A = this chain, B = another copy of it.
């Protein structure tokens, strides 16, 4: 019976139940909720130990009774911010994974600070693992082997992440940029300004033909579906293939 790292133990409520001293006035969930609320409203930068402590009405150092470090808090946040995965109903694997991926992306767009939170460890929280489980489960009747299923889930997660990053950085990030510089500074205009057609032939042709002028048209939902179908087609082809 291996010993769990402390964060993991806390995330899974594996702390010993009977304790000695004064009854704790908080629990990890309250702290996490407060931190998430701050991140939602004021951004990840505003999530400081002081701010979180103030939010739950406690001295900053009190948080360290529940969390080993700020990094741990962020790790827990990254899991707690995730809602339960969608129900399978009686969807085909393909339909299920399509909404699974879409919801992943929507989550990342609704809580963009999750994008800033680089996970330096693989997912180990209950909620993220639940999502993973459901994706694997959806593929269970397909004859894929474990590694293939796992990789498929990885690819879909990655796609949601990339798409969310791009969409968000062209939306909000673009506005930040535009605010910083005086003139009109849409992404496309910057590229037009800067690209030399000789060294960037394909890209500058594309820019000049207008693709990036208005950020709609390639940040649209249709484009997300396009890439998603690409991936699902690939998986489908793999399933149809005899063996590896």
- A-side interface residues toward B, CB under 8 Å? 1-6, 8, 12, 14, 115-116, 118-122, 124, 129-130, 132-134, 136-137, 140, 146-152, 154-155, 157-159, 161-163, 165-166, 169-170, 173-174, 176-177, 180-185, 187, 189-191, 193-195, 199-204, 206, 209, 211, 217-218, 223, 226-227, 229-231, 233-235, 237-238
Contact = CB atoms under 8 A, between A and B. Distances in A.
A45 to B, nearest CB: 11
Number of copies: 2
A147 B218 contact: yes
A194 B7 CA distance: 12
Contact of A201 (B115, B137, B227): B137
A147 B211 contact: yes
A128 to B, nearest CB: 11
Contacts of A202: 133-134, 136-137, 140
Contact of A169 (B122, B129, B147, B151): B122
Nearest to A149: B206
Given A150-B211, A234-B234, A12 B137 contact: no
